[in-house]
Structure 1
Amino acid sequence: MSEQQAGEVSAVPFVRLRLADIMAGSTSSPTRQLDLVPEIVHLPLPASLLDALNRITQDRLVLGRFIVPGKVVASKQIVLLIAADRTAVYIVGKSTSILAAELSKLEDLACLADRVSWCASHLPQAFKTLIILSAYWCERPELFAAIADATTEEARALAVLKWFISTLKGQYTSRNESMGSEKKPLNPALGELFYGNWPDKDGRGKTDLLVEQVSHHPPITAYVIENQTKGIKLVGHNAQKTSFSGGSIIVKQIGHAVLTVKLPSGADVQYLLTLPRLRIDGLWYGSPYIELAESSYIIGGGYVGVIDYKGRGYFSGKSHSFKATLSPTEKRGDIVVEGVWHQTSKFVSGGHGTFHDVSAPKEEVTAMGGEASGEMGSMETRKLWEQVAKGIREGDYELASREKSRIENEMRQRRKDEAANGTTWPMKHFQPLASDPLYEELAPLASITPASEDTYVFQNNWPTTIRP
């Protein structure tokens, strides 16, 4: 399927219908009421998906005008109806909340959902896994390196804030640029790995990336990004908890990162970075998009930074708006920045002119193999998901579904074997720590909750392909 077709599919709107209208065959007057019982989600299907539907409905029960594909119905809470002419899918549930919670269990539709829209996994799947998303921390490596060049506490705090704000576009909006709307990455496997770097340019130094999936239940990703030349390193981990509110999905990001900057004196300055909450809107219109919500914090180096996120209708009246306040611990006067994090911002107080601007092209990470030979190991993400990604790219949903199921079944069997033997999967690059002492030291400066968080300590064992 072409990228143009993919964009057309993701733009198809969702329509709510009354069950009585569906069964009577009258769908010309859909209602958008949110309190209907039961609820219907109606997904019009493009002709390019008819072959895929034929494949997944081989085992089926025909009810009048509808097909009930038994092998993809994974819950007694909902019913999946496919129009006999295969032009639409109707998903029936008792309420909006049940639909939202139960649709995620229809894993057999995961590959089909990549092109249909919010069907099985709620977000169409992209061609990569969650583990690669850690690279978005450094798609502007020159800003990461510039933190080390600052010569005062204030300049360093501003450089950290500028770099952090500049990462948000890559992390939360630009992922959908080539596929039409926000896409759900593949869920990583326990022990999955990714290695890469951004090469030295204009004296900024080479920046290295290492990512490891350190937990599967719950899914937790640990990462390290380091520019050894500049003496700057970011180590962190993240996980997510999802809940539903009205027509939106609320994602609480769990975890934090620690940025360490080595000064010319040899001393280290450390910053604690927390993560914003996410709100995913646009679900019922077939074009999901992300808004950041509430606040995140940057604390360290003599400053407390509070970043407040608001969407359309707040202080700038624009989507992706934010207001950042940098307050010195010595109470000398705040620095305030406002703008939209996916474009530009400006100083409101404590400075003049433009603060950040991410209109310039981002710089993709250069992926590397982690084996001594330079090849990819079996748990490296590009190798592990190679055939799944191929199937999604080429529209071969049978291949993608088969390979995805094979990997998942192998992982499940591995977990069963470990449980039977009383063993656990050994982490390769990180070790867990029940509480992070730096977090406990700095979090009270901004009254952050919880007061304590666990962490994953990097073992400084870079592959020789990255650090010979």
Structure 2
Amino acid sequence: MSLTIAPVKCEEKRDEQQHKSAWFQFMKSVATFRGDLTSLTAPPFLLAPRSIVEYSTYWSEHPRLLVSPAKEECPKRRALLVLQWFLSTLKHQHASRDENGKRKKMKPLNPFLGEIFLGKWVDDAGTTHLITEQVSHHPPATAYRIWNDAHGVRLEGHVSPKAYFSSTINIERQGYSILHIDKYNEDHWITMPKVHVEGIVTLQIAPELSGVSHIHSSSGYTTCINYSSKGWLKGKSNSFTAAIYPDNDESHPLFTLEGRWSDSYTIKDGKGKLLETVNLGSLRRTPLEVAPVESQHPLESRRAWKPVVDAINANDIFTTGHEKGKIENAQRALRKMERDAGKTWVRRYFSQVEEDPIAEKLAVKSKNSTSDGPGRMIWKFDEEKYKRIMENQHNGIKSPTRSRFDSGVGFLEIEEV
């Protein structure tokens, strides 16, 4: 009997060793860095083939859940449906593996100022639209608008992530979202939990949620969600508990939820009676539709980053770094030209405002979260800008032809040495 020994793929083994070495060098720089880690440049092999502006798509992977509160007459049941929709947005957003079981890469691409992402979902809930724009680069901030006209539901918000190192990589997401339901003229103010990264030493990277987030309804109901992870001796990863209660009456919850945001959870009434068990894994995701890359606006994410994404998918580290550097250098040149001319970048779909009365009214002040308040930078969807763009498209008026300058992609030709 002969024994066949599988050949060792030397190149793969060498690449793995190089990646490990680069990873630990990166973590060494992270551990000694003082400031926001989002400004650090990650090794190319850690980069995910998508930009942060695409993360707003997680809000509406299940449009039927997003619009379901519009069909509910009872305000406390609407609060429960809003919470259930919110929980459905967490699994794939923070999962360490994709739908095919492949481990995700850790670091999404940092969006450039003015980068946009447009898409829609079409299913039995009708058409749900999405517009996302990178409205600030320093500090980074992404604004988004998701709406479904058939059900009179719209979600609007902005998020400004800040990363720091304390035993591991931690991410705080300042900002908030507001879900509005036309039928009841009702608003739900929403914040996001903190994220910390587990598995750094073993390279089994897994995001985990922690702390507290809130949903506060203008109808008079507050939702408090507490997140926890697996401890040394007990507990499970991706765990949460949540309670919905009348404002200022936390001791008398109307509903309590408990389970894992990556798996399943139970819903009980205020007396502890089991009402339902929800299996998040059984939820069917509606495919997102986007325009073909070749017909996208130069500012759209997938068109602008295509050379970088192609290189990442080809596992071509050199080209990844080279193409990424071209965009970043072009952006620096563009910002310098604006400063020299005394101009600032005009946002395409959003505008900065001084105050947000709805957020001021509904914000839950919490000692455990830095993202609960309205925040220093408030970005709102600008209906006038949107209407003007739509009218121009209807009339066949195209965007400025100086597309390479507009996007900062390819604007600065880099000479080869």
TM-score (norm 2): 0.80
Q: State which of 48, 59, 63 in structure 2 corresponds to 1:141.
A: 63
Match among 321, 325, 338 for residue 243 of structure 2: 325
What do the CA deviations read for 1:390-426 (whole angstroms, capped 9, x no partner)?
Answer: 1111122232222111111110000001111111100
- Alignment of 1:307 onto 2:225: yes
Structure 2 Cα separation of the partners of residues 268 and 427 of structure 1: 28
Q: Is the 8 A contact 1:176 1:183 kept in 2?
A: no
**Residues 358 and 93 (structure 1), Cα distance of their counterparts in 2 relative to 1, 3 Å cut:** closer
Distance (whole Å) between structure 2 residues aligned to residue 352 and residue 321 of structure 1: 18
Unpaired runs of 5+ in structure 1? 1-44, 54-81, 115-123
SS at match of 2:188: strand
Aligned-pair CA distance for 1:104: 8.1
For the pair 1:286 / 2:203, whether they are aligned, the reply is: yes
Amino acid at match of 1:307: I
Identical amino acids, percent of aligned pairs: 31
Question: C-alpha separation between the residues in 2 aligned to 1:419 and 1:369?
Answer: 34
Q: Is 1:399 aligned with 2:319?
A: yes
Q: Show the counterpart of 1:199.
A: 122
How far apart are 1:445 and its partner, in Å?
A: 7.0
Match of 2:86 among 154, 159, 164: 164
Match of 1:241 in 2: 162
Hey, what does 2:192 align to over in structure 1?
275
Q: Which amino acid aligns with 2:235?
A: G
- Per-residue CA deviation, residues 312-353 of structure 1 (Å, 9 max, x unaligned), is 139982100000000013856431110101111102433534
Number of aligned residue pairs: give it.
371
Give, as a single letter, the amino acid of the residue that structure 1 aligns with 2:215: I
Partner of 1:97: 31
* 1-structure distance, mates of 2:62, 2:224: 22
Over 3 Å counting, the alpha-carbon distance change for 1:464 and 1:174 in structure 2 is farther
**Contact residue 256 and residue 267 of structure 2 kept, 8 A:** yes
* Residue in structure 2 matched with residue 69 of structure 1 by the alignment: none
Matched residue SS, 1:307 = strand
Residue 157 of structure 2 contacts residue 175 of structure 2 at CA under 8 Å; is this kept in 1? yes
Counterpart of 1:324 in structure 2: which amino acid? A
Note if contact 2:47-2:108 (Cα within 8 Å) is conserved in structure 1. yes
Find the residue that maps to 1:47 and give its secondary structure.
Answer: helix
Is the contact made by 1:182 and 1:287 (CA closer than 8 Å) also made in structure 2?
no
d(CA) in 2 for partners of 1:376 and 1:161?
Answer: 34
Q: Which amino acid aligns with 2:227?
A: Y
Secondary structure at 1:426 match in 2: coil
Contact 1:189 1:213 in 2 (8 A): yes
**Residue equivalent to 1:47:** 11
Which of 339, 347, 352 is residue 274 of structure 2 equivalent to? 352
- Work out the CA distance in 2 between the residues paired with 1:253 and 1:46: 42
Q: Taking structure 1 as reference, are residues 198 and 245 closer, same or farther at Cα in structure 2, changes over 3 Å only?
A: same
- 1:102 shift after superposition: 11
Change (3 A) 1:315 1:348: farther
Q: Secondary structure of the residue that 2:235 maps to in structure 1?
A: coil
Cα deviations by residue, 1:233-286 (Å, 9 ceiling, x for unpaired): 00000011112122x1111111100000011xxx51001001101111111111
Q: CA deviation at 1:46?
A: 6.8
Give secondary structure in 2 for the equivalent of 1:196.
Answer: strand
Give SS of 2:90's match: helix
Q: Is the 8 A contact 2:48 2:108 kept in 1?
A: yes
Counterpart of 1:222 (choices 140, 143, 150) is 143
Distance in structure 2 (CA, Å) of the matches to 1:288 and 1:214: 29
Rounded to whole Å, the distance in 2 between the matches of 1:279 and 1:94 is 17
Identify if the C-alpha distance between structure 1 residues 427 and 355 changes in structure 2 by more than 3 Å, giving closer, same or farther.
farther
After TM superposition, give the deviation of residue 363 of structure 1 in Å: 2.6
Q: Which of 368, 383, 390 is the aligned partner of 2:303?
A: 383
Q: What's the offset of the Cα at 1:355?
A: 4.7
TM-score, structure 1 normalization: 0.72
Closer, same or farther: CA 417–280 of 1 in aligned 2, 3 Å = same
Largest Rg, 1 or 2: 1
User: Residues 93-130 of structure 1, C-alpha deviation per residue, up to 9 Å, x if partnerless?
Assistant: 989832798998874x732xx2xxxxxxxxx2111000
Offset, 1:440: 1.4
How far apart, CA to CA, are the structure 2 residues paired with 1:392 and 1:382? Answer: 13
C-alpha spacing 1:408/1:92, structure 2 compared with 1 (3 Å): closer
C-alpha distance in 2, partners of 1:355/1:51? 45
CA offset at residue 88 of structure 1? 5.3
The change in CA–CA distance for 1:279 and 1:306 in structure 2 (over 3 A counts) is: same
